[in-house]
Amino acid sequence: MEICILSDLHLGTFGCQAKEVLNYLKSIQPKTLILNGDIIDIWQFNKRYFPASHMAVIKQIFSMASKDTKVIYITGNHDEALRKYADFEMGNIQLTDKIVFEINGEKNWVFHGDVFDRTTKGSAKLLAKLGGYGYDLLILINSLLNWWMKIMGKEKMSFSKSVKNGVKKAVSWINDFEQTAAELAIENKYQYVICGHIHQPQHRVFTNEKGSVTYLNSGDWIENLTSLEYYDKGWKLYQYDPKKFENVSTISKNKIIHLQEELSVITHEVAFQVSM
């Protein structure tokens, strides 16, 4: 795999599927790993809730960087506090707000996408943060319900997807978001525009009188469990299949202690580098 793109992990929230993220990251060896925003949810960060499984994801990312994988962390709205450190680099890890790169003669424009979202700006930002807490609570309730439905032998269901699909304004907003990103990409003569933010995995072609562009969205790791992978000279939308990871062992208590210790060391090292 040449490139892997993940977005919207929202580490530090109840909705994050950290175990699945870790399984996936351990199963791949990309030359470049792009984390396209909202990886650590600083908006909702709480010292009382950051499980070992979430720490294990961070540890795995650092481990991949130590083994020649280039890690590019693109900031999103939920981790916008990191934007003051944009263009910071340490070893194989780069922090930035957006990137443009060319592969096989085609230009790819990658950014989180919140720049198109007025609800993350100004006075509306407080409502967006409150909405984030409400969404997290909805996901938690949904998880408990799906746990019960699994026991009853019934299929899982998603409250938030049902709400989004049932509200015309939400559907319209997603379409407008994709259209805006595509039109700007065509204007700048990019062949691909790649976003996250709206938690809606997508792979489609937009065309207007000025040209065409392929719009891609890596989705999220709360409900959809999707990523984008580049191999065999093309982008593919990956869908996590839990059946393929049924025999993966869980994290032991000793491993949890080591993860906490290592994360503490890493955090201090990064803080020291940034302060310099």
Q: What pLDDT digit, counting tens, does each position of 47-78 carry?
A: 677 889 999 999 999 999 999 999 999 999 88
Confidence of residue 185 (pLDDT cuts 50, 70, 90): very high
Confidence of residue 127 (pLDDT cuts 50, 70, 90): very low
Q: Is the distance from CB of 229 to CB of 4 less than 8 angstroms?
A: yes
For helices 124-151 and 159-166, angle between their N-to-C axes, nearest 10 degrees? 120
Contact 170, 88 (CB under 8 A): no
Q: What is the mean pLDDT of residues 136-150?
A: 64
> What integer pLDDT is reported at residue 157 of this predicted model?
61
pLDDT surpasses 80 at 188 = yes
Tokens of 9: 């992990």
**DSSP letter string, 27-67:** H---SEEEEES-SB-STT-BTTB--HHHHHHHHHHHHHHHT
The identity of residue 20, as a single letter, is E
Decide if pLDDT at 130 tops 70: no
| 0.95 exceeded by pTM | no
Lowest mean pLDDT among 88-102, 134-148, 213-227: 134-148
Residues 6+ apart with CB under 8 A from 143: 14, 15
Stretch 103-111: mean pLDDT, rounded? 96
Q: Strands across the sheet with 211-217, in order? A: 98-103, 106-111, 192-195, 211-217, 202-208
| Residues 97 and 90 sit within 8 Å (Cβ to Cβ) | no
> Residue 40's beta-bridge partner residues?
11
Q: Which pLDDT band, with edges at 50, 70 and 90, does 45 fall under?
A: confident
pLDDT at 119 over 70: no
pLDDT, averaged across the chain = 81
β-partners of residue 95 are 73, 88
The yes-or-no verdict on residue 80 having pLDDT over 70 is yes
Higher-scoring residue by pLDDT: 3, 155: 3
Q: What CATH architecture does domain 3-275 belong to?
A: 4-Layer Sandwich (3.60)
- DSSP letter (8 states) at residue 84: G
Pairing relation of β-strands 192-195 and 98-103?
unpaired
**What pLDDT, on the 0 to 100 scale, is given for residue 177?**
85
pLDDT at 18 over 90: yes
DSSP H helical ranges for 111-155: 124-151
Least confident of 6-15, 186-195, 224-233, 267-276: 267-276
* pLDDT beyond 60 at 31: yes
